Amino acid sequence: MVSDKKDIEFENAVKTMMFYVGEDPDREGLLKTPQRVRKAYEFIFGGYKENPKEILKSALFTSSNDEMVLIKDIEFYSTCEHHLLPIIGRVHVAYIPDGKVVGLSKIPRVVNVFARRMQIQEQLTEQIADAIMDTIQPKGVAVVIQARHMCMEMRGVEKINSTTTSSALRGLFKKDEKTRSEFFSLINSPTGSHY
């Protein structure tokens, strides 16, 4: 198979990095590494090719339900934009419908799209909330992310047990204390059995 010019450029950049950290990019074990890294990057940064609002719009259903819908513990992997090291965490997303509900699977799909870009945690949190707010137009949205940052564990301050929590509250979750505390008590309560 003939490689694209940009694939070759990418793979040469990986070879250069391997050389400058002290490796011999031509030794047998590393010969296919640039190609593997390119393919891994295409996957972990695949979110640039997708449109989260289109994903949400593809499964909107009319509904009279106006009670909180909460999807807890959506696991994700992202990449920090400062060091290109992993951010590993879970997202909790709640919204209160206003005439429309969204297909449940579309919410974790949207999490994946934004997570598969270079990120900081706060921006990831807000992007998920805003995409839902703009497309579903609910009475409110709440997004909480709890994550570990490998740039604070493998290097830098080297704090292996710290977790970062961020939140983005929109509409009723921002305005109404009761709604907000119901959300936080639901995400903090142990799920117990798996359902």
**Binding-site sequence positions:** 80, 83, 151
Q: Which is nearer to Zn ion, 60 or 150 (CB)?
A: 150
Which structure tokens are listed for 142?
């709440």
Q: Which of residues 62-91 bind Zn ion (CB under 5 A)?
A: 80, 82-83
Instruction: Please identify, among the stretches 19-27, 52-60, 106-114, 147-155, the one whose residues bind ligand GTP according to the rule CB under 6 A.
Output: 147-155
d(CA 151, CA 83): 7
- Count of beta carbons in the 10 Å neighbourhood of residue 165: 11
Q: Which of residues 14-53 bind ligand GTP (CB under 6 A)?
A: none
Q: Which residue is nearest to Zn ion (CB)?
A: 151
Q: Which is nearer to Zn ion, 104 or 154 (CB)?
A: 154
Which structure tokens are listed for 180?
């907000």
Residue 95 in contact with residue 109, Cβ under 8 Å?
no
Is 149 tagged catalytic? Answer: yes
Least separation, in Å, of the C-beta of 121 and ligand GTP?
A: 4
Which DSSP string corresponds to 146-174?
Answer: EEEEHHHHTSTT--TT--EEEEEEEEHHH
Give me the catalytic one of 23, 35, 50, 83. 83
Is 80 tagged catalytic? Answer: yes
Pairing relationship of beta strands 69-80 and 118-119 according to DSSP bridges: parallel
Give me the catalytic one of 80, 92, 119, 127. 80
Q: Provide the annotated active-site residues.
A: 80-83, 121, 149, 151
